[in-house]
Amino acid sequence: MIISKRKSKIIGNTSYHIFMIILSLIMIYPFIWAVMSSFKPVEQLYSGNPLNIIPTEFTLENYKRLMEVLPFDKMLFNSIFLSITIPIAMIIVASLAAYAVTRIEFKGRNILFFAFIATMMIPSHVTLIPNYKIIVDMNLYNSFTAIFLSSMFTASNAFNIFFFRQYFLSIPKDLENAAIVDGCSKIGIFFKIVLPNAKPAIATTAILSFRNVWNSFLWPMLVINDYDKLPLTVGLNYLKGSEPNWAVLLAGATLSIIPIVVIFLAFQKYFMASTMNSGFGGK
């Protein structure tokens, strides 16, 4: 009876892992196909077997063509600049706001926090026209400041506040009480105790914010009309209208996803740690 249960457990675990491996391969196949197809000659891309991933002949012509038809270096710089500076600003604002609603007692604290959360329930497309009108009235159209302001005061940063708050609740108050006894101020506690213990939350927020800014498309397309100021995602959309070769589009898509993969792999351990420690279930 014990042997039979053990065999059933082994069979069940084996079946589960086989199913997950097959499912993972199905999900990752389009990504692998796109990357490998970016190295295929145009003729093979259109006439070859679509299930054949490996190119018969590797070529970099698609990437050379991409550099010719787009100011790729400028667009890449714009995306990197925005994707680094905006998350830094978002982390500073969100962590300070989260610390205030978590550790500082003041009237209306919970109401303020729920107001932050309520903004997460408003679809971003609903606020496009009002935000656009505000940007135009402030003479910020066609500037990076328009993208900065939109990122700072949207539902994504409200989520960051929520996420930091949940993580701060998991940090023992005894550490802060000991610092208060030693004469440390609230702002000193924040920078010397809370933030150093919140590195996983900071890393996770940085990854998510970097991804959101890097992949942002609709808002930059609305507020930026200078070709040299466009981020890479919007530039690739214009490429679709001027370049009929899909291999070149795949080359652009491949280059655009590399930074996100690199960032995630670099901060993966912090991402997993913050997911387990914050738990979205602080008390």
Between 12 and 75, the higher pLDDT residue: 75
Q: Is 137's pLDDT higher than 70? A: yes
Query: Which residues, 6+ apart, have CB-to-CB distance to 220 below 8 Å?
Result: 147, 230, 231, 233, 234
* pLDDT tens readout for residues 111-121: 888 888 888 88
Q: Is 126's pLDDT higher than 90? A: no
Name the least confident of 63-72, 149-158, 179-188, 249-258.
149-158
Q: Is 6's pLDDT higher than 80? A: no
Mean pLDDT value across the chain: 84
What pLDDT is attached to residue 276?
57
Fold of 71-278: MetI-like fold (1.10.3720)
Distance CA 263, CA 259 (A): 6
Domain boundaries, the chain: 2-61, 71-278
Tokens 């996803």 sit on residue? 257
Distance CA 66, CA 217 (A): 19
Give 59's pLDDT tier (boundaries 50, 70, 90).
confident
Query: How many CB atoms sit inside 10 A of residue 36's CB?
Result: 16
Give 48's pLDDT tier (boundaries 50, 70, 90).
low
pTM: 0.79
Give 181's pLDDT tier (boundaries 50, 70, 90).
confident
Distance CA 264, CA 81 (A): 18
* pLDDT tens readout for residues 265-278: 877 776 666 555 55
Tell me which residue of 267, 253, 268, 259 sits closest to 31, measured CA to CA. Answer: 253
What pLDDT is attached to residue 53?
81
